[in-house]
């Protein structure tokens, strides 16, 4: 039986673990604590911090796993690269590239070096590091975090002093990044590579809660309103980026922003996104990026499939509420005739604080 080790057992990893059980793999899971919805899909589980690459390596080696992977977790990617490289296992992204992409300052510096970014930015650990910053409004972010945690819009120098400590609590290194605020519409680009070429690309509109700081996602919508010329430009940027990162195969997720004449990369990560967009894509276009990812890792033959595009607007919509309150399904109305819906909590469970503002508790596709 094929043995697959998944790093993390949270909501995003549930998709992967559930699929692996369906195809009769032996599932192994690791996390820093024994909690998470993915636990019920693990044949074997151990409490190990997935950032501790040596302990993860020892566990993978001891259990003779065939694949190490994760979905929706930035912090897992460098460890996956390292462990897979050490054990000669299949992988999509090297430890070096994953580490670079997991650090917003290093990744923006990399993009700037290769003429793939024209947004001003600066890194630092103290408000005094930004005394010469004069481009307002701006966006303050932790250097290494995900899920829009600790992100604030900054209007003036005093705002930097006011909010820098909040951003730092989400950054493992204590570093933050300040970047130029740009206006435009947001999109998510999910691509799948084979031998250095884009096998599939899907661009969806990324809708946020406009009234909240941090760009918290509300919905992903197909088809995108982005025009064809800008889509072409976006894919050119993406292809140039993955080539410089030497990512040849598998899924890569990009968050981008565009206006009437330009496209900018906001974030990128060498994995399937944490918003279940693979499920939306499967409903919209008939292509299963989750299955394709594991097929490639398990060295199954990849045969390109025809995209059967859904002819109407289709979206993935999150259900969210404030953290540290009791979850009740009765508080949320899921529309009739959805293609899929799922809650992350059972009635009576407390909503965990992750971004500390407005937490996802489920989603539906319609």
21-25, 71-75, 123-127, 165-169: range with highest mean pLDDT: 21-25
Angle at Cα 48 formed by Cα 291 and Cα 22, nearest 5°?
25
Mean pLDDT of 109-118: 95
What are the tokens at 33? 């604590």
| Cα–chain center distance at 298 | 22
* CB contact set of 68 (below 8 Å; sequence gap of 6+): 4, 5, 7, 56, 60, 79, 80, 83, 84, 87, 89, 91
- Mean pLDDT for the stretch of residues 140-151: 79
User: Structural domains in the chain?
Assistant: 3-91 (3.40.50.20), 120-180 (3.30.1490.20), 185-312 (3.30.470.20)
> Taken in order 65, 69, 74, 77, is the CA torsion positive or negative?
positive
Residues 344-361: pLDDT tens digits?
A: 999 999 999 888 889 999
How many Å apart are CA 332 and CA 354, to the nearest integer? 20
pLDDT, tens digit (0-9, with 9 covering 90-100), for 43-61: 999 999 999 999 999 999 9
In this predicted structure, what is the pLDDT of residue 140?
94
pLDDT recorded at residue 247: 98
Q: Residue 98 — very low, low, confident or very high, per pLDDT cuts 50/70/90?
A: very high
Higher pLDDT, 307 or 44: 44
pLDDT in tens, 236-294: 999 999 999 999 999 999 999 999 989 999 999 999 999 999 999 999 999 999 999 99
Average pLDDT over residues 169-195: 93
- Of the chain, the percentage scoring pLDDT greater than 90 comes to 85
């Amino acid at each position: 039986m094929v043995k697959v080790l998944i790093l993390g057992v949270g909501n995003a990893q549930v998709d992967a673990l559930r699929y692996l059980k369906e195809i009769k793999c032996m599932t192994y899971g690791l996390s820093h604590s024994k909690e998470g919805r993915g636990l019920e899909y693990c044949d074997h589980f151990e409490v190990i911090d997935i950032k501790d690459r040596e302990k993860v390596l020892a566990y993978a080696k001891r259990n003779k796993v065939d694949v190490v992977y994760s979905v929706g977790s930035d912090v897992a990617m460098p460890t996956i690269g390292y462990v897979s490289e050490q054990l000669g296992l299949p992988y999509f992204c090297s430890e070096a590239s994953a580490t670079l992409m997991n650090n917003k300052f290093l990744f923006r510096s990399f993009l700037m070096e290769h003429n793939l970014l024209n947004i001003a930015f600066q890194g630092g650990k103290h408000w005094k590091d930004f005394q010469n910053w004069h481009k307002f409004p701006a966006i303050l972010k932790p250097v290494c975090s995900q899920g829009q945690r600790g992100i604030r819009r900054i209007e003036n120098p005093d705002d930097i002093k006011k909010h820098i400590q909040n951003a730092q609590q989400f950054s493992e290194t204590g570093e933050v990044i300040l970047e130029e605020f740009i206006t435009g519409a947001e999109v998510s680009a999910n691509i799948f590579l084979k031998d250095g070429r884009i096998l599939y690309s899907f661009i969806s509109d990324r809708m946020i809660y406009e009234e909240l700081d941090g760009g918290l996602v509300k919905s992903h919508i197909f088809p995108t309103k982005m025009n064809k010329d800008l889509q072409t430009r976006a894919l050119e940027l993406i292809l140039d980026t993955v080539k410089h990162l030497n990512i040849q195969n598998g899924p890569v997720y990009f968050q981008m922003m565009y206006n009437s004449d330009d496209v900018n990369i906001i974030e990128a990560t060498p994995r399937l996104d944490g918003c279940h967009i693979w499920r939306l894509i499967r409903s919209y276009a008939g292509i299963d990026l989750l299955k394709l990812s594991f097929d490639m890792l398990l060295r199954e033959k990849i045969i390109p499939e025809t995209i059967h595009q859904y002819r109407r607007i289709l979206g993935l919509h999150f259900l969210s509420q404030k953290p540290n309150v009791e979850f009740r399904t009765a508080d949320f109305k899921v529309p009739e005739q959805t293609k899929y819906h799922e809650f992350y909590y059972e009635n009576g469970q407390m909503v965990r604080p992750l971004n500390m503002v407005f937490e996802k508790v489920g989603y539906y596709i319609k």
